[in-house]
Amino acid sequence: MPRNLDARAADFEAAFTALLADKRETSDDVNAVVTGILDDVRLRGDAALLDYTRRFDRLSLDATGLAIGAEEVTAAVAACDEETLTALRLAASRIEDFHRRQKPEGLSYTDAAGVRLGYRWTALAAVGLYVPGGTASYPSSVLMNALPAKVAGVERLVMVVPTPDGKLNPLVLAAARIAGVDEIYRIGGAQAVAALAYGTATIRPVDKIVGPGNAFVAAAKRQVFGTVGIDMIAGPSEILVVADGDNDPSWIAADLLSQAEHDTAAQSILITDDAAFGQKVAAAVEGHLATLPRAAIARESWESHGAIILVDSLDAAPALVDRVAPEHLELAVANPDALAERVRNAGAIFLGRYTPEAIGDYVGGPNHVLPTARSARFSSGLGVLDFMKRTTLLGCDAAALHRIGPAAVTLAKSEGLGAHGLSVALRVNMPRAE
């Protein structure tokens, strides 16, 4: 049974706080193992990469076999079901269109003091995209990670994907082709992260590494951070559905299960103002679980971490939502916009009864890589800005420097930084400041 919370109950605050504090992730300490692998790949390059691939993926390659070439991708695409390819292309085109609108503008102006000011955005030169192997190898995630990078203008987008026993989902290669990935290597784990961060004879290093992975990949990303940029480390998925009694309980139950089926550590929460509706949803969850292919995972998630929260009025929902700061927020109410306006913290909001969260996972357009574990309080989903950086520009001529320079000399003096003051004072013929 999921937890049942009642906002009118005396113990609600304690129960809600406990729900927020719910530890869902088990963190294996793999840091020492990962450090060893990173050091080894850094030192021995391709040779280490091939050794680990033999050991972990049971795949014997030489360095020339690391890359997945264009012919292999073409063959994989040919092996894919045409209906699925068409759906992938629709998804790609919608994702690309939404992300194109995120491209930031530069700035350039001269202010009243005659100082030229501005900034410009440039794309990262090279980005690595980690794609998990096996059952977590999702073509939709390839699109969601690769397309914002290409829209940003990243010139060299390098995908790595492990192929345990040589097996690879052809749809992953199809998604890579559709998204415009430039290089693909059949490697995974911490060794793949090391190759992307430090480079080997075969694989040139990148500037940033994105994409989901297991505990080894996450630890490796944390350890190479600084040498390269990394994206957020994604935790288990979450959904919070705010629904009134006018919804079909079966629909809302399916929405809750669509997060629960990802991972036993996923979390699905329903907030409703209708106790009977809440019970109907709980019953519909049971009904769906009887038929779903991933029912065991979904059931464990729902029973361990799920919750139904009853409130007097949905007016109380935004304050609770902000404390949960959910990755996905579904507003299944008659006027979702009014409720959305009052929410501060959510990764993505799904508006109205006909917008199940799964639409956003595939074909909506916005990114499905979103902040988890309450981090929507301070971070955003993946987007074009994650593949660009801003360089500020400042230009004075002699007259402008005479106008604003003396204040800089005064402040440098107050901070005891003599050379700072000197560098300005010399140019404006001021006496030495310190």
Site for a copy of itself in 113-172 (CB under 8 A): 115-117, 119, 122, 124-125, 135, 138-140, 171
Which stretch, 39-47, 55-63, 66-74, 382-390, contacts a copy of itself (CB under 8 A)? 382-390
Query: Binding residue for a copy of itself (CB under 8 A) from 26, 64, 313, 392?
Result: 392
Of 136, 147, 134, 33, nearest to 100 (Cα)? Answer: 147
Q: Given the complex with a copy of itself, which of 193 and 376 has the nearer CB atom?
A: 376
- Under the criterion CB under 8 A, does residue 336 sit at the interface with a copy of itself? yes
Which stretch, 55-63, 101-109, 190-198, 269-277, contacts a copy of itself (CB under 8 A)? 101-109
**Is residue 327 annotated as part of the catalytic site, yes or no?**
yes
Q: Given the complex with a copy of itself, which of 71 and 83 has the nearer CB atom?
A: 83
- Under the criterion CB under 8 A, does residue 294 sit at the interface with a copy of itself? yes
Chain centroid to Cα 187, Å, comes to 21
Q: How many CB atoms lie within 10 A of CB 199?
A: 15
Q: Is 415 annotated as a binding residue?
A: yes
Which stretch, 157-165, 187-195, 307-315, 385-393, contacts a copy of itself (CB under 8 A)? 385-393
**Residue 269 is encoded by which pair of tokens?**
């929460």
Applying the rule CB under 8 A, the residues between 199 and 238 that interact with a copy of itself are: 207-208, 226, 228-229, 233
Applying the rule CB under 8 A, the residues between 236 and 255 that interact with a copy of itself are: 248, 250-251, 254-255
Distance CA 424, CA 408 (A): 7
Applying the rule CB under 8 A, the residues between 41 and 70 that interact with a copy of itself are: none
Q: Is 420 annotated as a binding residue?
A: yes
Query: Exactly one of 328, 330, 357, 368 is catalytic; which is it?
Result: 328
- Under the criterion CB under 8 A, does residue 26 sit at the interface with a copy of itself? no
Q: Given the complex with a copy of itself, which of 77 and 124 has the nearer CB atom?
A: 124
**Is residue 402 annotated as part of the catalytic site, yes or no?**
no
Distance CA 123, CA 390 (A): 9
Query: Binding residue for a copy of itself (CB under 8 A) from 10, 64, 101, 429?
Result: 101
Q: Given the complex with a copy of itself, which of 60 and 410 has the nearer CB atom?
A: 410
Distance CA 157, CA 123 (A): 12
Q: Given the complex with a copy of itself, which of 189 and 366 has the nearer CB atom?
A: 366
Q: Is 368 annotated as a binding residue?
A: no
* CA-only gyration radius of the chain, Å: 26
Applying the rule CB under 8 A, the residues between 403 and 432 that interact with a copy of itself are: 404-408, 410-412, 414-424, 426-427, 432
- Under the criterion CB under 8 A, does residue 356 sit at the interface with a copy of itself? yes
Phi and psi torsions of 354, nearest 5°: -105, 25
Distance CA 189, CA 351 (A): 38
Encode 114-133 in three state secondary structure.
CCEEEEEEEECCEEEEECCC
- Under the criterion CB under 8 A, does residue 84 sit at the interface with a copy of itself? yes
Chain centroid to Cα 396, Å, comes to 40
**Residue 8 is encoded by which pair of tokens?**
């009118």
Annotated binding site for NAD(+): 130, 191, 214
Annotated binding site for substrate: 237, 259, 262, 328, 361, 415, 420
Annotated binding site for Zn(2+): 259, 262, 361, 420
Residues catalogued as catalytic = 327-328
